[in-house]
Amino acid sequence: MAIIKIITPSVTDANITAAKVTDNAITLAKMASGTDGNIISYDASGNPVAIATGNDGQVLTSTGAGSPPAFETAAAGGKIGQVVSETKTSTFSSTSDTMTDISGLAVAITPSASNSKVLVMVNFNVSIDLNDRYCVFQLVRGSTVLSVGAGSGSRTVGSVAHVRVTANGSANEIGEYSINFLDSPSTTSATTYKMQGLAQSADNPSFRLNMSGADSNAAYGFRLASTITVMEVLA
């Protein structure tokens, strides 16, 4: 009786070519095991590479040509990190011809990073009594006046809000004013922003915050309020 021997040919890498593999024939079960969370990409040589699993909350970002992508912490630029606000409802008056702190119209913020910016927004209501004179209001960080514009030309450094009323005899100006300033304090220490004001010394000028004109107008049943709000803008 004849014995038939069946020989199974060996399969080598050289025998398996892309043309011999049917499309969609390789299932997930046939792939080599990997690490949970890894993503397959290619390295600079064009070879497959596993992208290491990132941390919770990270995003997959490009690291440039010739380098696999990577999981990195999402950039926070332009986002608001914190908001601190104070509202002044009490009145404040001054006849001083030097810059004077306006009590209650100040707020402190502690930036979380030294490269953060701080957006300062102030709205204040002022009644000004004067005769051909003016009052000036300015925003201050600590002891530093925050100026708008350069010191050259006709610009006034240090005055971010300037009110002037001209009239024959006594004059009165009632208005609501605002200041918006994007500051770079470059610190992670507690920083105070505040408002200051002065009344030019001649002819007994004065200003009052949160009053609708002369004190007697409070009988009309309304008074005004002023606010200062600071926002940390993350880098």
Q: What is the model's pLDDT at position 153?
A: 56
pLDDT tens readout for residues 108-165: 999 999 999 999 999 988 877 766 567 788 899 999 888 665 555 555 544 454 445 4
Give me the architecture of the 80-233 domain, per CATH. Answer: Sandwich (2.60)
pLDDT > 90: what percent of the chain? 25
Average pLDDT over residues 71-82: 80
Lowest pLDDT segment from 10-24, 34-48, 86-100, 109-123: 10-24
Average pLDDT over residues 55-73: 84
Q: Which one is predicted more confidently, 7 or 162?
A: 7
Q: What is the model's pLDDT at position 201?
A: 66
Q: What is the model's pLDDT at position 158?
A: 46
pLDDT tens readout for residues 159-189: 454 445 444 455 566 778 888 889 999 999 9
Q: Does the pLDDT value for residue 62 go beyond 50?
A: yes
Q: What is the model's pLDDT at position 183?
A: 92
Give CA–CA dist 139/5, Å, rounded. Answer: 99
Q: Where in the chain is the domain with CATH 2.60.120.760?
A: 80-233
Count Cα atoms within 13 angstroms, Cβ side, for 229: 11
Q: Report how far apart, in Å, the C-alpha atoms of 105 and of each of 88, 125, 142, 152, 213 are.
A: 6, 11, 13, 30, 19
Mean pLDDT rounded to a whole number for the chain = 79
Q: Which one is predicted more confidently, 215 or 100?
A: 100
Give CA–CA dist 23/95, Å, rounded. Answer: 88
Q: What is the model's pLDDT at position 78?
A: 73
For 34, the token pair is 């990997």
- The closest alpha carbon to 170, from 213, 134, 207, 131, belongs to 131
Q: What is the model's pLDDT at position 149?
A: 55
Q: What is the model's pLDDT at position 117?
A: 94
